[in-house]
């Protein structure tokens, strides 16, 4: 069986972080602040944050590589075969919260996990994806986002995009609110077939596609004016983002339970947010249209 090349994966992830940060610095005009950190239990990371930029109110692009002799409960609850194994987990995770309510929030991550035990074959897999959370709905943005997602999947098989789109729709869903977080994209996990090289190539395809999906949307919406009401709606919808990340997100749970750096793990949270009691949009408004036409699973590509 082909052995995973962890050094090759780490090189790619560090290079991906570099490329994405350079692209956002070019868009925004402001550089990221870097913060290197060490994990007491083993490993560390490189957090990069951009705050109060021209376009980005808060954005973070994090690389982490943590390892240790035992896994947290979140990792072994559904995979008991991992108990007692040494592990490595590495990945790039990013969230961009723009100032302008017409520019969606975006999230992406790609990651690799391996657990090893002497005398036994390693257990490994890739995961990741990207998803979009608009505050005001623009069909051309949603179609473009999903076109890039489909193109990233096409070299690997016809079933990749519909399968991982559906998984994304189902994963980024707030059960207690009975609503999706956004318009989806791709989500995959536990990928280790047919072999390491193919799985790694797919993860790279997803990671490389993110800026192709997001940058044109940012550029299209960057100069649109917005009102106080639209800003208030953006802050209200950000509350849903916080709820998902703190209640359901696997990465947040794994990071906290594995002793990761809390400041970096919670980097994904927006800087300003609001919760209004029993709030509802005005019927027929653009805010209501987001719920009725965009916050629902859709076949954006008419396949």
As annotated, the active-site residues are 107
Q: Does 107 count as an annotated binding residue?
A: yes
Q: Does 245 count as an annotated binding residue?
A: no
Q: Does 144 count as an annotated binding residue?
A: no
Question: Contact 213/23 with Cβ under 8 angstroms?
Answer: no
Separation in Å, CA 237 to CA 157, 158, 217, 222: 35, 34, 19, 19
Q: Does 176 count as an annotated binding residue?
A: yes
Q: Does 264 count as an annotated binding residue?
A: no
Distance CA 93, CA 244 (A): 16
**Where are any strands of DSSP class E within the chain?**
33-38, 43-51, 56-68, 86-98, 105-116, 123-133, 173-174, 179-180, 184-191
Residues 6+ apart with CB under 8 A from 191: 125, 126, 127, 199, 202, 203
DSSP state for residue 177 in the 8-state scheme:
T
Supply φ then ψ for residue 70, to 5 degrees: -150, 150
Q: Does 43 count as an annotated binding residue?
A: no
Distance CA 50, CA 216 (A): 20
Distance CA 150, CA 295 (A): 20
Q: Does 240 count as an annotated binding residue?
A: no
Q: Does 212 count as an annotated binding residue?
A: no
The token duo for 78 is 């559904």
Q: Does 78 count as an annotated binding residue?
A: no
- Exposed, middle or buried by CB within 10 Å (0-12, 13-18, 19+), for 95? buried
What is the number of helices (H) and of strands (E) in the chain? 9, 9
Show binding-site residues for substrate. Answer: 93, 109-111, 259-261
Show binding-site residues for a divalent metal cation. Answer: 97, 107, 146, 176
Show binding-site residues. Answer: 93, 97, 107, 109-111, 146, 176, 259-261
């Amino acid at each position: 069986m082909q052995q995973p090349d962890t050094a090759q994966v780490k090189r790619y992830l560090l290079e991906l972080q570099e490329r994405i940060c350079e692209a956002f610095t070019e868009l925004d005009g402001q550089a990221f602040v870097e913060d290197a950190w060490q994990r007491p239990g083993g490993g560390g990371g490189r957090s990069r944050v951009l705050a109060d930029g021209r376009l980005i109110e808060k954005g973070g692009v994090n690389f982490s590589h943590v390892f240790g002799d035992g896994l947290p409960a979140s990792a072994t609850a559904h995979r008991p075969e991992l108990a007692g194994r040494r592990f490595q987990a590495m990945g790039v995770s990013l969230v961009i919260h723009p100032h302008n309510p017409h520019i969606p929030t975006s999230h992406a991550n790609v990651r690799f996990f391996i657990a090893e035990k002497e005398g036994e074959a390693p257990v490994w897999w890739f995961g990741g994806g990207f998803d979009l959370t608009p505050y005001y709905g623009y069909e051309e943005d949603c179609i473009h986002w999903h076109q890039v997602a489909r193109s990233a999947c096409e070299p690997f098989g016809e079933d990749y995009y519909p399968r991982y789109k559906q998984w994304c729709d189902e994963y980024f869903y707030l059960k207690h609110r009975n609503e999706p977080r956004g318009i989806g994209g791709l989500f995959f996990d536990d990928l280790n077939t047919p072999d390491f090289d193919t799985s790694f190539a797919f993860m790279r395809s997803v990671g490389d596609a993110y800026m192709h999906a997001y940058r044109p949307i940012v550029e299209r919406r960057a100069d649109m004016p917005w009102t106080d009401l639209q800003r208030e709606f953006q802050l209200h919808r950000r509350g849903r983002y916080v709820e998902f990340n703190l209640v359901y997100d696997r990465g947040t749970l794994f990071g906290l339970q594995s002793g990761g750096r809390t400041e970096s793990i919670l980097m994904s949270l927006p800087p300003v947010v609001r919760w209004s009691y029993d709030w509802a949009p005005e019927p027929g408004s653009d805010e209501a249209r987001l719920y009725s036409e965009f916050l629902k699973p859709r076949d954006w590509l008419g396949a």
